[in-house]
A and B are shown apart, each in its own frame.
Chain A
Amino acid sequence: EVQLVQSGAEVKKPGESLKISCKGSGYSFTTYWIGWVRQMPGKGLEWMGIIYPGDSDTRYSPSFQGQVTISADKSISTAYLQWSSLRASDTAMYYCARPAGPFYYSPFDYWGQGTLVTVSS
């Protein structure tokens, strides 16, 4: 069974750094893209970027380029989303997700449970 299990909720102060994780299991981690999606409180879904763990090929939405870093450690089947300096506007639920097939042009069929990030002074 394919599973994506995300790290727990975080409460941080503005300016702090953060790295959240998404551990994949039940499939070959290196052969499927994994993406990240933001959902701000009461708002819609925003595609942030995607990584291919096999070779760490990473693509970002222009809206998030330079604001976050997506990475993966294939030795432990885990993808990451990190910030070097959080802002209050980063408060949101963050989902990792995987396509059904090992293709770049494929919609997200498997989703993590979400990680709630709260940034407040």
Chain B
Amino acid sequence: EIVLTQSPGTLSLSPGERATLSCRASQSVSSSYLAWYLQKPGQAPRLLIYGASSRATGIPDRFSGSGSGTDFTLTISRLEPEDFAVYYCQQYGSSPRTFGQGTKVEIK
């Protein structure tokens, strides 16, 4: 099973700042099958990024993903008020498809 470790656990930033979230895998993620999700309180997760760097439908371009192998990054170029939430990475290239433990982006 691939273990995904996200860091930091919590990121305290102000609106307009840049956010950089990390996701590290215990072994190489097949074909960069790495996704990022955002979850707001009381809501289902929403897909942001798939294939490590492709934005899902309707996702603004301030969200970008990068990385390959075992190291992946989600960058939010300028935080908007609606971006403060919990972010999860997930690998879907091998079974079981595992999630990271999440990074909370909170308002400073």
Contact = CB atoms under 8 A, between A and B. Distances in A.
Interface of A: 35, 37, 44-47, 49-50, 59-63, 95, 97, 100, 105-109, 111-114
A111 B44 contact: yes
A113 B42 CA distance: 9
Interface in B72-108: 88, 90, 92-93, 95-102
Contact size range, B: 20 to 34
A47 B96 CA distance: 7
Contact of B96 (A45, A63, A95, A109): A63
A45 B47 CA distance: 13
| Secondary structure dominating the interface of A | strand
Interface in B28-70: 30-31, 33, 35, 37, 39, 44-47, 50, 56-57
A95 B56 CA distance: 20
Interface of B: 1, 30-31, 33, 35, 37, 39, 44-47, 50, 56-57, 88, 90, 92-93, 95-102
Nearest to A95: B44
B99 A107 contact: no
B87 to A, nearest CB: 11
Given A95-B45, A105-B93, A107-B47, A47 B99 contact: yes
B56 A100 contact: yes
A26 to B, nearest CB: 15
Contacts of A111: 44-46
B96 A105 contact: no
